[in-house]
Structure 1
């Protein structure tokens, strides 16, 4: 595991530091209680090294002080130094006293899992195990004499017993250290996965909010933007003509009233489209064609008969047709418009063409309306082809796969 990954996990989950602290202090307090009880019950009869109790207490105090400076977010050299000092302290105490801080040693190995990379942790565990067993037999002669003094009737062959204890300690160390390392690695992997899941959830929420804002902006532009713009123009015209030509002003007001009614209908249609499951695409397109013919002087030919489609697909096709007709009405100066649609077993083909003034191909991405059409087609997994040139009209073809 890379050090950067460990740092990110340690920052995201400060409970690691707190958990290590609680576990370490539990072990230290347990050792301290055992030391006081042993001193009270047996005095120095179990000690063969002078002042071993003092060394024992110094080791506990040393670990207690280091527990307050667990270097989760420190440089790598400080982390290595921290682990080295704790292991060295355990080894020295083991050499000069009869005490073996097994639990503290396993805790240090666990700490290395959170502070160092996996390779460094495994190397430390192997090296520590070897040195630990050497420390166990460092003062083997004194231990044999001590055992013969305390319970000579049991140890008729103390050397054989020491060898047995050595092998038993080796097996126990391998088993426990492997368990500790794997457990810590699993914990780290779970924490890392959780942190990644939280991050991805946040990103998905941000993306969903962005897509929703884009969708709302596109719907407002497609359904209300042009109508409200025309409504504003008609109202301004009515204000200017009020004093000079009341008949034309009244006509402008009637047109504004019609546009306002269309805006209300568009809002209702958008809301009903999002709520209803039986949206009739063919009927909606016919209504759109009638509105276009009422507000435009150009001829229109419409031929389509779409089957029942998913609500999302029907709504997007309708909005694409609406945006295309709105662009024709505002910009094309066309005299003839063709709107058609056909369905094959694999796809839906939607065509919209006019004989208007057209536009340069480099302007395909300049307008919000064309971008909105392209985005809607992409949402359906389809393709859109726009062919236009000055004075040659515009042809738009949308292909949507039925298997999407």
Structure 2
């Protein structure tokens, strides 16, 4: 069972007020009707019907099983037909019960029930049409003394009211369902946004700190290895380690503050990255069109992650970072955009073997966020090439 939705609670309150008003009006009509006042059973009939209808009005099994909801709709509508036979209740209550049925049962079921009760209530009316004629004669309503007209008018009136209620109920129910679906989608979007933000933060931490901490680890390891035999070189490694630790702090601040900056220069940032102390030569030849801050920062993180991976695994002595702007030719189905290539002459690796770690996955996710294409080509002993296309 599910909890009652706010939309249903609002609908329930509105129907509750309408139904209680109809019931109160029906009880009042009994006591002002001279014909009913003559009946000795009027008092206990009124009490019995009032008790039955109050039970159906106050009880609304929206959280119950389909079988219980089906029984509720059938019994509530049947009680109105019986009460209407004894001229107790207004036909409007019949409509409100059918309206609630539109929320409780599938559309086909409520339409089927409406058709079945059309037959039942028509037979009930036909069985007492003679008494209605006699009563009409007493109050001189000669216009309604023709049985066929009475029966046709009653059935037609019932059908029109029933169709109207069913249409109104279905429209109302569909509207409430659409609102609930929109609420669920909103919550799903919020959850997805939170997950995406968590992944973005994880990528930023990995890409920014990972590069600096890898370099820092290399320099500390070098200082430990040569501190006894080459103290000068060991001191240089320690000084560089201190510089790298400061750079790691700057990278963290940059990752947290980039989204608030409006002056991030991608070309300048790539050149600064290339000038850092690497065990390989970095050749930069880049040209970029006017990019958004988000696109510039994502490309920078991709390049940074590539250099970190090369430093960890490739054992390369040369890395090239190149980009070019593609103008695009419509006749040849070429897209406009930017092509970025990062190549090294290192060990390379087998693309068919599974790889652990976040590096390549993070780069692919960043490219996907920008709506671009990511291509990786590598062979053992022949280096690695990363090619990225970003549409403009």
CA separation of 1:19 and 1:244: change in aligned 2, threshold 3 A? farther
Distance in 1 between residues matched to 2:121 and 2:358, nearest whole Å: 72
TM-score, scaled to structure 2: 0.86
**CA displacement at 1:341 relative to structure 2:** 0.9
Show the 5 A alignment for 1:120-135.
Answer: 120-135=109-124
Which of 95, 100, 106 is the aligned partner of 1:111? 100
Distance in 1 between residues matched to 2:200 and 2:171, nearest whole Å: 42
CA separation of 1:299 and 1:251: change in aligned 2, threshold 3 A? closer
* 1:94–1:135 Cα contact (<8 Å) kept: no
**CA displacement at 1:375 relative to structure 2:** 0.9
Tell whether 2:374 aligns with 1:384: yes
| Structure 1: runs of 5+ lacking an equivalent | 1-6
Show the 5 A alignment for 1:353-372.
Answer: 353-363=343-353, 365-372=355-362
**CA displacement at 1:46 relative to structure 2:** 4.8
What is the aligned length? Answer: 383
Q: Describe the SS at the equivalent of 1:361.
A: coil
CA separation of 1:288 and 1:308: change in aligned 2, threshold 3 A? same
Which of 222, 225, 228 is the aligned partner of 2:207? 222
Show the 5 A alignment for 1:347-358.
Answer: 347-358=337-348
Q: Describe the SS at the equivalent of 2:145.
A: helix
Q: Could you tell which deviates more after superposition, 310-319 or 170-179? A: 170-179
Q: Could you tell which deviates more after superposition, 258-267 or 369-378? A: 258-267
CA separation of 1:266 and 1:94: change in aligned 2, threshold 3 A? closer
**CA displacement at 1:92 relative to structure 2:** 2.7
Q: Describe the SS at the equivalent of 1:302.
A: strand
**CA displacement at 1:148 relative to structure 2:** 3.3
Tell whether 2:177 aligns with 1:196: no
Q: Describe the SS at the equivalent of 1:90.
A: helix
Q: Could you tell which deviates more after superposition, 61-70 or 210-219? A: 61-70
Where does residue 311 of structure 1 map in the other structure?
293
Distance in 1 between residues matched to 2:366 and 2:15, nearest whole Å: 53
Where does residue 210 of structure 1 map in the other structure?
195
Which of 286, 294, 312 is the aligned partner of 1:330? 312
**CA displacement at 1:328 relative to structure 2:** 1.3
Show the 5 A alignment for 1:4-403.
Answer: 13-15=7-9, 16-36=11-31, 38=32, 42=34, 45-46=35-36, 51-95=41-85, 97-149=86-138, 151=139, 154-156=140-142, 159-160=145-146, 164-231=149-216, 234=219, 247=232, 250-291=235-276, 295-345=277-327, 346-363=336-353, 365-402=355-392
* 2:351–2:379 Cα contact (<8 Å) kept: yes
How large is the Cα RMSD of the aligned pairs? 3.0
* 1:316–1:376 Cα contact (<8 Å) kept: yes
* 2:325–2:339 Cα contact (<8 Å) kept: yes
CA separation of 1:249 and 1:140: change in aligned 2, threshold 3 A? same
Q: Could you tell which deviates more after superposition, 117-126 or 134-143? A: 134-143
Distance in 1 between residues matched to 2:95 and 2:321, nearest whole Å: 77
Distance in 2 between residues matched to 1:213 and 1:281, nearest whole Å: 24
TM-score, scaled to structure 1: 0.83
**CA displacement at 1:9 relative to structure 2:** 8.7
CA separation of 1:239 and 1:157: change in aligned 2, threshold 3 A? closer
Distance in 1 between residues matched to 2:87 and 2:208, nearest whole Å: 86
Deviation by residue 1:101-143 (Cα, 9 ceiling, x = unmatched) = 3022112211221221111212222332343233334223333
* 1:385–1:397 Cα contact (<8 Å) kept: yes
**CA displacement at 1:301 relative to structure 2:** 2.5
Distance in 1 between residues matched to 2:144 and 2:372, nearest whole Å: 84
CA separation of 1:51 and 1:264: change in aligned 2, threshold 3 A? same
* 2:74–2:113 Cα contact (<8 Å) kept: no
CA separation of 1:218 and 1:233: change in aligned 2, threshold 3 A? same
| Structure 2: runs of 5+ lacking an equivalent | 328-335
* 1:365–1:371 Cα contact (<8 Å) kept: no
